[in-house]
Structure 1
Amino acid sequence: MSGGGPLQDASDATLVARASDGDVPAFEVLARRHGPLMRVYAEQVLGSNDEADDVVQESFLTGWRKLGDLEDPGRFRPWMVQIVTRRALDRLRRRRHHDDLDAVERPADPRLTPERTVETRMQLDAMWAALERMPVDQRRCWLLRETAGHSYQQIAEELELPTSTVRGLLARARRFLSAEMEGWR
């Protein structure tokens, strides 16, 4: 019954009493009155518009079938919230069983085991220690070439050295590091 009929202005308790006796229009008024609130609540619980509609519809069907179980007809709304809550939680439980954990969290890179991480860190420490023992000009040339990617010409300009000197310093630096890092091969 739409419009301003007598059922529209009736209390929840009156509508529940009538619906309990099989008055379908009375229950329709209850559903229109409380449906929007139940939908918003279900959407908040589920995080989904589509599922919220289904849950609310199922909940009102359950409410219609179990209306005789409602002890206090004036507490229709809290009673319906309980039904919606149970239905929404059931949906969440079913959804949870189908989550693909591979999509949620990628497995760790098998190359990054704790042992490999420690070994890499120790190798880097050994490299930095070897660089500290290297003559300053060799170290500066090597760092500019290997870490910054500078060309021989750029290194020569940066350090104000002839290109031939840069080539010699880099050759000595590589031989030195090769000898120092022999144990890490």
Structure 2
Amino acid sequence: MREEQHRDEFAAATDRILAGRAADGDAEAFAALVRRYAPMMSAYARRILPGTSEIDDVVQETFITAWEQLSTLERPEQVKSWLMRITSRKAIDRIRATKVHSDFQEVEISVPQASDPPRRAEASAGVAALGEALGELPDRERQCWVLREIGGHSYEEISEELGIPLSTVRGQLARARKHIIVRMEEWR
């Protein structure tokens, strides 16, 4: 009973409180962060590493790193974006280490929930067309596009994570966007 009360208390706690307590060594507060963000981190890792069995490993490595470095987090209220950056870096490290050429047709992009079947079918077809357009991009352009448009990373974060100059990130994104705009023209 006491454990359930504790879980309920943590479920309602803010990220700032949980991260602060976890940084002080509170394993239960850290477990609450794991429960809160593991599904989102898995979905995000799956977008970067589609079709691989390494997604759970990436998430687990992210939480290990987070536990070890949580005391260095200057703004505990930003723990979510911090965890997502670590997830991104771990996933990209896997790509670099194994030279995986991701097939972005397997990227799970959610289809907006529509009430009528024709709209759902159209949305599904649009997502499939986007997957095909992404699959045609060179790996580096695709990685930049996914990190920016799906992951919400800044240009600086992409530059840092991929180890490429900021100007290269801009160029890769411009080329990727141009290709996608041309390929998705009929869906406008």
| TM norm structure 1 | 0.50
Of structures 1 and 2, the one scoring higher in RCO (CA 8 A, sep 6+) is 2
| TM norm structure 2 | 0.49
